[in-house]
Structure 1
Amino acid sequence: HAADLNINDISDYADSVDVEEQVTSITQFSDVYPTDWAYQALASLIERYGCVAGYPNGTFRGNRAMTRYEAAALLNACLDRITEVTDELRRLIKEFERELAIIRGRVDGLEARVGELEATQFSTTTKLSGLANFVLGGTKAKGDNFRSVKGGVGERDRYNSSWGAFTLSYDLRLGLKTSFTGKDLLFTRLRAGNMGRTSTWTGGGVLMNTLNTAAPGENVLRVDRLYYRFPLGSNVTIQAGPLTRNTEMLGYKPSVYAKGGQTVLDFFGGSLGVPGVWNKETGGGFGAIYSNKNNVSKGDPYWTVAANYVADSGEASDGNPTTGGFMTDNSEANVTSQIAYGNKQWGLALGYRYGQCGARFRTSTEFAAFDAYGTPCAVVTGVDADGEDLFERTDASSNSFSFNAFWRPDESGWMPSISAGLGQSYLNGNSTWDEYTSKRAMGSWMVGLTWNDVFLESNALGYAVGQPQFVYDDEDFVADGGYAMELWYKFQVTDNISVTPSVYWLSRPWGDFTQNYKGDYKSLGVFGGVIQTVFKF
């Protein structure tokens, strides 16, 4: 209809189309403001395609109705621009036709592989990691061949005949990490091995022989970890489960000994030189960890405070309160706590552990383990009329303290990282316990050095010396003390395979049993050599 046609408006817009190339920025329109609802859309059309024009007077008139002529003019300008872009794309596609075909083939291959993985994936929430350790080596007792039993063989020959064989053993660990929220963790670990009680590496012969990789025996795959961990706010973590470990709920490991390498003896490895506190008790329990790491700048030192309760696994599931139970007098329970301050380069930590009767000290001399290792809840005090043993409760318990510290250089070089630990334990009990033993105090210490990137990148060298848990008194402070030392070098064969040969020496691991034989000083130690080949996957 002629009434709908404004000749002046058409003339104005036609003039604007002639100069549309001059509109290169939305700021050229005097009547368009950032608060307008279509501001971003209009800006995108101008900057990306350059097909929006205004009126000669510098206005866009965005609120007025558009005629069919104006729409046709605007659409024609945009189509011209899009045609130019399309022609450029065709030229590029033609020029890189071969490369695009290769990329298309690779994408198709990736899609096929992703589809196969999705169809055969283990779980959408769980990741599996594994470690296999082949342990090859043997030990030999060296020193005085004194006889502890009249007419019997000497202690040196007794040890070598029972524990001196060259052996090949293994330790296999499969870890399943499951997360339901991305912040929590359900951890399950399966473990198998052929060491067990018949192996030198699990403390056979002398406790100080125990390796850090000491595995269960009988080639049976069993669950040795099962716990759930979740955050409580931004600074607190809670962990609980039927198979959790006290030293894995302390939040901060105050040692870098063998970090980047492979530990040998358990005393220097998992026990950190203080087996009275870091006794690695595993069973039913729970714990809480507080850390302000999220509140400090990256790399700055932070505080960690942790406490936990763990009952021995055998007792925690025992329904008889006279022999076990969870949080009973016979749980062989441990209450462990630690306060630490530091970062990745240096750290300090104070630890404490209360142990019920039966709670273990782990690595010690044979003298310290004779009646203090696993402080008994009851001891035999006589026999009844039928010749049966009579038991009396000892109310035995232990209080252990530790101090650990470490430092490592910013870069690998001739200066090693240094880790140290010092521990003390005190035994208590009632009058029955007092009559049962005179052993009251124990101590331990260690110093470990680690050099990283030795000779080749990712290889490492380590040395440690110390005294595992020993009994001391005021008259002869170190009468029971026996030294332990180890030297190892790790070859990083590939990203997933390493080989670590090592040697160690245990001086007088029998402790005061050696010292007091017929009142004479005797020297008897154990020399060991081990090659560990570790596969990680």
Structure 2
Amino acid sequence: MKLFQKLLIAPAVLGLFAPISASANELSLDEMSGYSSKDKVESITEFNPAKEIAKTNSRVDGLEAKLNNFEAGSFSETTTMSGSASFQVGGVDGSGITEALTATYSYDIDLNTSFTGDDNLYVGIETGNSSTSVDFTLDSSGDGADTLSVTSMYYEFPIGDYYIAVGPKLDSDDLMPTTTSKYSDSFFFASQYSLDSNYFTSQGTGAGVAVGRTFDSGLNASASIIGTDASTTSGILTEEGIDITTLSLGYDADNYGGGIVYQSSDSLCSLADKYAISVCDDYGISAILDEGYSATTFGAYYSPNEKTTLSATSSFVDADISGANIDTFNDFQLSVDRELGAGTLSASYKTFPFFKIPDLNGTEIENDDLGSFIEVYYTYDVNDSLTITPGFAFTMRNQDSADLVAENNDLAFYLYDRTVIGVDATFKF
């Protein structure tokens, strides 16, 4: 019997003997002396120790059985559950979606189970009520339409000094040990097209396999291949399916580090449609013409002291559309996290690249610098379970790009002149 069960049963056993002890205390010596020998024999006969002990053992066995049934319905001893509930309240002035003050939520559950002590089965479950009709979205926002769904599922295990991950819902960077930026990235940027740190080299969720290793020297490396259409008739590693390959190499020291991440995808439209729905259909880029893209991100971080960390990253993206010549475009991000008071002050600057089409009847697609974004936010830990994060972000638009729209035979994009203000509250459990 386990110690926990014994501790629960012990009070019950003591409770069985309590009435017996109380009855014995009520008898006086005079009353005892008045008993005849026959009375004494009958009294002793009425209290049969063996019988009472048998009853007690029976009750103990019953309690133990109930405890075993309770334990059988609980989590495995090697399963842990954690999660969070987040509320987002804010608005975006100048938004092309809505300028209304909106309030949304998200709810995340993480389940981790080990079978050998060195392996891990991970399952992520999420929901939320954010949607494409809401412009104020944060890193914590979820768009599960109020329905819990499995968003991640994979099994991780070691082979020698390497770790392997396989699963039906694996992110391209789930097993990646390479760090190109230590920016906290938990406010507006993390939810927006192109603004998330490592955005162009962290795409892809589906069935796949990943391998990673961290060496004693501080070097690390990883590789993965993900089939985003693996659960459909298109399959994985087929001509019809969309497969994403990711490679990384990095180095980490005590107060600095960095790395390089390379990603290749079979589809450019899957990246574009993530935030600009049907953009490929609108401009006549069919699946036959879509030949994918490759992206390379370089990044490094440095901590001059225990309270401050600086990060810088840059991505270069090469897109391929059959019959078109497309410029390589790139972005640049500079970020800082600084412990201040009871929390952390974070700020980031990032350029916003896109494309322009000078001639709709031509084959040239050029790099178009739309401008840049800045965000500033403060993460305040109320206690170990509650974090409040107020912040703001704003656009520094390239005015020349807006003027291009008015020119004849020219298709261009430009940033809305947006100002973002809001707050996030996250409860962790």
Same fold (TM over 0.5): yes
Please state how far the C-alpha of 1:355 moved relative to its aligned partner: 0.9
**Aligned residue among 291, 300, 314 for 1:422:** 314
1:270 and 1:476, CA in 2 relative to 1: closer, same or farther beyond 3 A?
A: closer
Please state how far the C-alpha of 1:411 moved relative to its aligned partner: 1.9
Equivalent pair of 1:361/1:374 in contact (CA under 8 Å):
no
Give the match for residue 444 of structure 1.
Answer: 331
1: CA distance, partners of 2:370 / 2:416: 13
1:461 lines up with 2:345 in the alignment:
yes
Output one character per residue of 1:304-345: Cα deviation in whole Å (capped at 9) or x when no partner.
111101122xx22112xxxx2211123222111110011352
TM-score, L = length of structure 2: 0.74
Please state how far the C-alpha of 1:247 moved relative to its aligned partner: 1.6
Alpha-carbon RMSD across the aligned residues, in angstroms, is 3.7
Output one character per residue of 1:267-298: Cα deviation in whole Å (capped at 9) or x when no partner.
7999653422123x211111111221xx35xx
**Aligned residue among 354, 369, 373 for 1:484:** 373
**Aligned residue among 306, 330, 337 for 1:411:** 306
Q: Which has the higher strand share?
A: 2
Would you say how many aligned residue pairs link Structure 1 and Structure 2?
Answer: 359
**Aligned residue among 162, 171, 181 for 1:255:** 181
Equivalent pair of 1:268/1:464 in contact (CA under 8 Å):
no
1:238 lines up with 2:161 in the alignment:
no
2: CA distance, partners of 1:403 / 1:480: 19
1:227 lines up with 2:154 in the alignment:
yes
Please state how far the C-alpha of 1:370 moved relative to its aligned partner: 4.2
Residue type of the alignment partner of 2:83: G
2: CA distance, partners of 1:170 / 1:303: 39
Equivalent pair of 1:336/1:352 in contact (CA under 8 Å):
yes
Give the match for residue 227 of structure 2.
Answer: 311
Secondary structure at 1:518 match in 2: coil
**Aligned residue among 101, 104, 108 for 1:166:** 101
Give the match for residue 505 of structure 1.
Answer: 394
Give the match for residue 97 of structure 1.
Answer: none
1:237 and 1:468, CA in 2 relative to 1: closer, same or farther beyond 3 A?
A: farther
1: CA distance, partners of 2:195 / 2:284: 19
Please state how far the C-alpha of 1:171 moved relative to its aligned partner: 1.2
1: CA distance, partners of 2:388 / 2:315: 32
2: CA distance, partners of 1:284 / 1:123: 26
Q: Which has the higher helix share?
A: 1
Output one character per residue of 1:366-424: Cα deviation in whole Å (capped at 9) or x when no partner.
7x99449999553xxxxxxxxxxxxxx22512111110111113422xxx310111001
Please state how far the C-alpha of 1:165 moved relative to its aligned partner: 1.2
Output one character per residue of 1:478-528: Cα deviation in whole Å (capped at 9) or x when no partner.
74322111000111101110100010013349994x241213998841111
1: CA distance, partners of 2:344 / 2:375: 14
Secondary structure at 2:304 match in 1: coil
2: CA distance, partners of 1:499 / 1:269: 24
Equivalent pair of 1:254/1:348 in contact (CA under 8 Å):
yes
Equivalent pair of 2:125/2:152 in contact (CA under 8 Å):
yes
Residue type of the alignment partner of 1:239: A
Please state how far the C-alpha of 1:131 moved relative to its aligned partner: 1.0
Please state how far the C-alpha of 1:469 moved relative to its aligned partner: 3.8
Residue type of the alignment partner of 1:519: E
1: CA distance, partners of 2:254 / 2:312: 15
Equivalent pair of 1:273/1:468 in contact (CA under 8 Å):
no
Residue type of the alignment partner of 1:316: A
1:165 and 1:473, CA in 2 relative to 1: closer, same or farther beyond 3 A?
A: closer
1: CA distance, partners of 2:226 / 2:262: 14
Identity of aligned residues (%): 20
1:284 and 1:255, CA in 2 relative to 1: closer, same or farther beyond 3 A?
A: same
Q: Which runs of 5+ in 1 are unaligned?
A: 1-106, 142-155, 202-209, 297-301, 379-392
Equivalent pair of 1:193/1:216 in contact (CA under 8 Å):
yes
1:283 lines up with 2:206 in the alignment:
yes
1:179 and 1:468, CA in 2 relative to 1: closer, same or farther beyond 3 A?
A: farther
Equivalent pair of 1:426/1:442 in contact (CA under 8 Å):
yes
Equivalent pair of 1:365/1:511 in contact (CA under 8 Å):
no
2: CA distance, partners of 1:344 / 1:110: 52
Please state how far the C-alpha of 1:137 moved relative to its aligned partner: 0.5
Which entry has the higher C-alpha Rg, 1 or 2? 1
1: CA distance, partners of 2:134 / 2:99: 10
1:140 lines up with 2:93 in the alignment:
yes
Equivalent pair of 1:483/1:508 in contact (CA under 8 Å):
yes
Equivalent pair of 2:374/2:395 in contact (CA under 8 Å):
yes
Equivalent pair of 1:275/1:468 in contact (CA under 8 Å):
no
2: CA distance, partners of 1:467 / 1:426: 17
Give the match for residue 384 of structure 2.
Answer: 495
TM-score, L = length of structure 1: 0.60
1:316 and 1:468, CA in 2 relative to 1: closer, same or farther beyond 3 A?
A: farther
